[in-house]
Amino acid sequence: MSSHDDTPKRIDVLRVKPQEPVGGAIIDEQGREVPITENMVQDACRELEGHVVKPVGKD
């Protein structure tokens, strides 16, 4: 019996204030500092998940 499970796990996290800064910033095209929000992080994660490639032989 193996303790390793390849079944995808998903835990939904609900943020009370998704527009609140999470402690970082980016610099926009005009050189302004823009606080990074929870929504920005979640959007980036969703975009990355769309580019995940499974190894050959894995379903």
Is the model's pTM score more than 0.75?
no
Q: What is the pLDDT of residue 4?
A: 60
- Please say whether the beta carbons of 39 and 20 come within 8 A: no
Q: Where are the domains of the chain?
A: 21-50
Mind listing the pLDDT tens digit for each residue in 23-59?
899 999 999 999 999 889 889 999 998 888 878 876 6
- Structure token pair of residue 5: 């499970």
Find out whether 44 and 36 touch, Cβ atoms under 8 Å: no
State the sign of the Cα–Cα–Cα–Cα dihedral 14, 20, 25, 47: positive
